[in-house]
Chain A
Amino acid sequence: NAGVTQTPKFQVLKTGQSMTLQCAQDMNHEYMSWYRQDPGMGLRLIHYSVGAGITDQGEVPNGYNVSRSTTEDFPLRLLSAAPSQTSVYFCASSSWGRTQAAEAFFGQGTRLTVV
């Protein structure tokens, strides 16, 4: 059971380049999300999805796009990378608790540097 898998683990981009961070889960979870982690700021929600075909913005969505064509995959796209997007990105998944929230499982993270 792989859980939540993110690729790549490390990436260096030049300003203005675009790229896609991949995230896949094999737990049949309805809910998937992307967070960024910056020093001293905890983890902040970028985008999330409650199921295939449904996505919504989190706290810091600007500069990022997402789509959810399957239950398993939730890629995060950086449209035009900026140095402010240098961060560690975590994908997470959980069962969608309609009556109570459920535990979130995190991927191993992607360390992105934009130069």
Chain B
Amino acid sequence: GENVEQHPSTLSVQEGDSAVIKCTYSDSASNYFPWYKQELGKRPQLIIDIRSNVGEKKDQRIAVTLNKTAKHFSLHITETQPEDSAVYFCAASKAGTASKLTFGTGTRLQVTL
């Protein structure tokens, strides 16, 4: 089955700096890669996703890049703010398998003033 690895497990940045979280996947058939943000005690919420037919997607301060050849994808957050502090999860799935998600182990992002 699919295996998703996520790094780093913790990340501390100063407000205004950029943060990058990286994930690798094992199943070359995976074609959907969402990123979820989870605040303490809350549910995971989708912040951005990318499909395998594009290499990059951007939404304001958040961007995701995908390298299908190397089987890795990354989350980029620019101009970080204290409210970006949370745990971020990457995931992978593929069409035709009912959207089963395989998650990475999470990155705890701390944005300091």
Contact B49 A103 (CB under 8 A): yes
Residues of A within 8 A of B44 (CB): 43, 90, 106
Residue of B nearest to A100 (CB): B95
Which of A50, A59, A106 contacts B43, CB < 8 Å?
Answer: A106
Complex Cα gap A103–B47 (Å): 10
Contact B99 A42 (CB under 8 A): no
Count of chain B residues with Cβ under 8 Å from any Cβ of A? Answer: 29
Contact B93 A109 (CB under 8 A): no
Which of B1, B34, B51, B96 contacts A104, CB < 8 Å?
Answer: B34
Flag the segment in A20-28, A62-70, A91-99 that touches B.
Answer: A91-99
Which of B6, B9, B51, B89 contacts A100, CB < 8 Å?
Answer: B51
Complex Cα gap A41–B6 (Å): 11
Residues of A within 8 A of B45 (CB): 106
B78 within 8 A of A: no
Q: A59-B1, A94-B99 are in contact. Are A41 and B43 (CB under 8 A)?
A: no
Q: Mark A21-54, 1 if CB is under 8 A from B, else 0.
A: 0000000001101010000111111001010000
List B residues 78-113 near A (Cβ within 8 Å).
Answer: 89, 93-106
Other than the given A97-B95, A102-B99, 19 more pairs (CB < 8 A) read A31-B99, A35-B101, A40-B9, A42-B89, A42-B104, A43-B103, A44-B103, A45-B101, A50-B98, A94-B99, A95-B99, A96-B99, A97-B99, A103-B34, A104-B46, A104-B101, A106-B44, A108-B42, A108-B43
